Structure 1
C-alpha cells in the first residue's frame, strides 16, 4: 500500500501548463537572448543603442524626467519587490495555512540571483551615463559589450536587472494577490499588475539612460524565460516534510 501511495503521489506532481504551451516558446526566448548577445558582441545594433541614447539625452525636460524617475521606482528590488512579495507571501500563508508561498518567493529570488547577476558580470557593459560621469568614456566605448572597463567603473548594464526582475517579481506578486483574494482579483487588474510594470521599466530605464535599449530587450527575453520556469513548477503539489503537514495546503488553485 505504501508503494502504491508513493507512486500515486509522484504521478500527481506534474508541471503546470503555461501559455503559449510547450517548450518551443522557451527555446525561442533563449535563442533570442543568445542571438541578441552575439549580435552585440559582433558590433551589430550598437548604432541603434547610441541613437536612442542620444535622443534621450537631448529630450529630457524636467517634468518628463522626474515623472520617469518616479515610475522607475517600480523596479526597486530590495526596496519594493522583495518586501512586497514577502509580505504577500506571509498574508497568503496565514490565510491558506500553508508554507508553500515561501517556496515560490525563495525560488524567484534564487533564479534571479543565479542568472541576472552573473550575466551582468560576464558581459561587462557600461551604462549610457558612463559617457557623462565617471569614468567619462566615449559613447562608442561605453556601448561595447564584453568590455574591459577601468577598475571600479560600473560594468553591469547587460541585461537590465530592473526589467528582468520586474517580469519575475510582478508575476509572483500577481499570483499571490490572486491567491489572497481567492480568485476574486479582476482579470484586468491581474494583467495590469503582471505586465504594466515591466513595460514601464523598459521605457523609463531607456529614457533615463540607465540602460541601453538592447539591455532592456535582452532582459525581456530572459525575464519571460525565468517567469515561465517559475510558473511551470507545481507549487501546490511539491512534497513537503511531515513536520509541515498542517501547513501544506494548496494556494495556487485558490487563485
Structure 2
C-alpha cells in the first residue's frame, strides 16, 4: 500500500522581520500613544523648542543643502514615477504584471491611511507662524485644531517620512528584482534606510514639520511597510486573460 504524504498549505502571509505581530502592535501603540499625548498637551513644548532652534539656526548654505536633500521625499514627481518605471521594467523582464500589483498596493495603502490621518488631526505646520494663516506658534503646534483646510493644516503625521519608508522599500525591492538578486546588500540598505532618516532630519530642520510629526510618521510608515511586505504578491488571484503575464514575482528578500 502506497504511503500518502500530506502537502502543507502555503502560508497566506509572508514572514517579516522582526517576526510576529507583536512589533506591528507595538508600532500602532506608539502612534496612538504619541497622538494621545499631543492631544493632551504633552510634548508640545518639545516641538516648540526644536522649531525655535531650527528657525534661529538656518544659515543659507545649510538651509539650501537641507532643501535639496528634502527633495528625496517628493512623491508626485519622484517616488511614484521611479517606482512605476522600475515596476514596468521588472514586469517586462519577468513577463509578469505582479510588480505592478506591488506598486498599486503601496499606492492604495498610503493613500487610504496617511492623507485621512492628516485631515483628521488638523495640525498646522511650524511655518504657519511665518506664512498664512500667521498663527502664533503656541496655536500652530496644537493637534486636533479647528483650522481651515489648506497646506498648513495637514502636518501630522509627516507624509514625507511615512511615504519615504514605504516607497523606498518598494524601490529597493524592485531593484533587487531588476538585478535578479545581485544588488549588493550595502546598496539595498542605503536605498531602504537612508532617505527616511534624511527626511526626518530635513523636514524638522526646515520647519516643514514638528519633530513629533516625524516620529509619528516613523511608527506609521514602518507599520504600513510591514503590512505591504506581508502580502504574497505571487499568489494574488488574477483574471484568466492575464495568464500569459501571470508569472512569479520574487522581488523582495
TM-score interval for Structure 1 and Structure 2 normalised by the shorter chain: over 0.9
CA–CA distance in 1 between the matches of 2:148 and 2:233? 44
CA–CA distance in 1 between the matches of 2:100 and 2:150? 36
Which residue is equivalent to 1:35?
A: 33
Structural mapping, 1:58-207, within 5 Å: 58-150=56-148, 152=150, 154-207=152-205
- Contact 1:123-1:145 at 8 Å conserved across structures: yes
1:241 CA displacement: 1.7
- Residues 43, 12 of structure 1: alpha-carbon distance in 2 compared, 3 angstrom cutoff: same
Unaligned 5+ runs, structure 1 = 1-7
1:14 CA displacement: 2.3
CA–CA distance in 2 between the matches of 1:45 and 1:135? 23
1:239 CA displacement: 2.3
With the length of structure 1 as denominator, give the TM-score of the two structures: 0.94
- Residues 10, 246 of structure 1: alpha-carbon distance in 2 compared, 3 angstrom cutoff: farther
Which residue is equivalent to 1:246?
A: 244
1:152-204 CA-partner distances (Å, limit 9, x unpaired): 56210000000000000000000000000000000010010000000000000
CA–CA distance in 1 between the matches of 2:108 and 2:128? 29
1:142 CA displacement: 0.3
SS class of match (1:196): helix
CA–CA distance in 1 between the matches of 2:129 and 2:8? 56
Which residue is equivalent to 2:49?
A: 51
1:113-170 CA-partner distances (Å, limit 9, x unpaired): 1000000000000000011111111100000000012465621000000000000000
SS class of match (2:42): coil
1:63-119 CA-partner distances (Å, limit 9, x unpaired): 000000000000000010000000000000000110001111111000101000000
- Residues 253, 135 of structure 1: alpha-carbon distance in 2 compared, 3 angstrom cutoff: closer
1:9 CA displacement: 11
- Residues 104, 153 of structure 1: alpha-carbon distance in 2 compared, 3 angstrom cutoff: closer
1:188-234 CA-partner distances (Å, limit 9, x unpaired): 10010000000000000000000000000000000000000000001
- Contact 1:167-1:224 at 8 Å conserved across structures: yes
- Number of paired residues? 248
CA–CA distance in 1 between the matches of 2:151 and 2:178? 43
- Contact 1:135-1:153 at 8 Å conserved across structures: no
CA–CA distance in 1 between the matches of 2:170 and 2:7? 26
RMSD: 1.6
Q: 1:234 aligns with which of 229, 232, 236?
A: 232
CA–CA distance in 1 between the matches of 2:76 and 2:44? 31
Which residue is equivalent to 2:24?
A: 26
